Amino acid sequence: MVPDSPLQDFRKDHDEADTRLDLLHRWLQSLPQTDNGYQLDALYDDASFRRYFRIRAANNSWVVMDAPPDREPVSDFIRIGSRLRDMGLNVPEIIAVDEVQGFVLLGDLGDRQLLDLMNADNIDDIHSMALAPLVALQAGVFSDPDFLPPYDHTLLMSEMQLFHDWYLGRHLKASISDRESATLNEIFEQLASSALEQPQVWVHRDYHSRNLMQTATNAPGILDFQDAVTGPITYDAVSLLRDCYIAWPRAYIEDRALGFYELLVHSGLLDEDVSEQTFMRWFDLMGVQRHLKAIGIFSRLNYRDSKAKYLADIPRTWNYVVEAAEKHPQLQPLLAITEKYQS
């Protein structure tokens, strides 16, 4: 069978989007919130197949998520969102659901991402606000240790393989030798081992400035939680502090990471026998694992999904890997192999 051309892919996606928009209107017209008419405005495309719209009706507003069920089933979003809201976290209220069609009507947390608000004068306050909910989220593991799937070795390794396949192989067109692949795999194994030796807690898995919203309360609105897992205690703090979409001075980030370490110890989530040095090693290596995954995903979004804007985030994200390698010599072969093909 001859594969579809990019133009054919575009036409299929466009036709499907139009069909789903018709289905969405029919569903909205069946709801009591919107049965007297409404205004529907597109918000933004997710880095997945989900789309979001804001609905205004009768002086109220909601957000509707359109998630094609064959690509983005909403069951985990509903299950996890309901649990997080019951825990007191500021996630959207789930108002109406059609799991079969993939539509969810949500409470509206506004449209002010923390990314749009951050500056050198307020970043310390914003990070304090955003780190605080992680203690409650992480502690969920003690009440229900089996609620979320494990962030296991297989998943950790498959995420880093995205860097190998989509960034090195597809974006840089690198002809990776067997020896280089073996070297990369050894480093990936070290990163996975570091993640798995950490205390395992509930992890949002995409906790950064584009998924956190300013709201009327002194707690950020939390979005995009459907891929949550039970995983490494440093993961979400790395996502926030070494954000792929905005960078802050290295010394500041390390100071904030140590502040989070103290918060974890005082809250009882981290044993006081874990030293600052161990925690920072975990933090650094966890960041490298995450950033390799992110670079692979950004590349895949461009080549597979025609979302080229994410390529601009790769240099910032790669710089975090370079900084980590300055502190952890075992990462130097990763730099050497990658920079060989970047030049």
pLDDT tens for each residue of the chain, 343 residues long: 333 333 334 334 445 557 899 999 999 999 999 888 999 999 866 567 889 999 999 889 999 999 999 999 999 999 999 999 999 999 999 999 999 999 999 999 998 999 999 999 999 999 999 999 999 999 999 999 999 999 999 999 999 999 999 999 999 999 999 999 999 999 999 999 999 999 999 999 999 999 999 998 889 999 999 999 999 999 999 999 999 999 999 999 999 999 999 999 999 999 999 999 999 999 999 999 999 999 999 999 999 999 999 999 999 999 999 999 999 999 999 999 999 999 7
Domain-located, residue 1:
no
Q: How far is CA 259 from the centre of its chain?
A: 22
Judge whether 211 and 48 are in contact, CB under 8 Å: no
Domain boundary among 74, 107, 140: 107
Q: Which strand (E) or helix (H) includes residue 23?
A: helix 6-29
Are residues 100 and 142 both part of a single domain?
Answer: no
pLDDT computed for residue 234 by the predictor: 98
Q: What is the pLDDT of residue 47?
A: 61
Length of the chain: 343
Range of the domain at 25: 6-107
**Burial class of residue 308 in the structure, from the number of CB atoms within 10 Å of its CB (0-12 exposed, 13-18 middle, 19+ buried):** exposed
Distance CA 165, CA 173 (A): 10
Q: Is 194 part of a structural domain of the chain?
A: yes
Where do we find the tokens 């001859």? 2
Residues 57 and 25 in one domain: yes
Q: What are the φ and ψ backbone dihedral angles of 50, each rounded to 5 degrees?
A: -80, 150
Contact indicator for 87, 182 with CB cutoff of 8 Å? no
* Chain centre distance of CA 228: 9
Q: Are residues 14 and 48 in the same domain?
A: yes
How many structural domains compose the chain?
2
Looking up residue 176, the CATH number of its domain turns out to be 3.90.1200.10
Going by C-alpha positions, the residue among 249, 234, 250, 245 that lies closest to residue 208 is 245
How far is C-alpha 279 from the chain's CA centre? 22
Question: What pLDDT score does 6 carry?
Answer: 38
**Which of 85, 107, 129 is the C-terminal boundary of a domain?**
107
Q: Which long-range contacts (CB under 8 A, 24 or more apart) does 40-45 make?
A: 40/64, 43/111, 45/307
Tell me which DSSP letter residue 94 carries.
E
> Which CATH number covers residue 36?
3.30.200.20
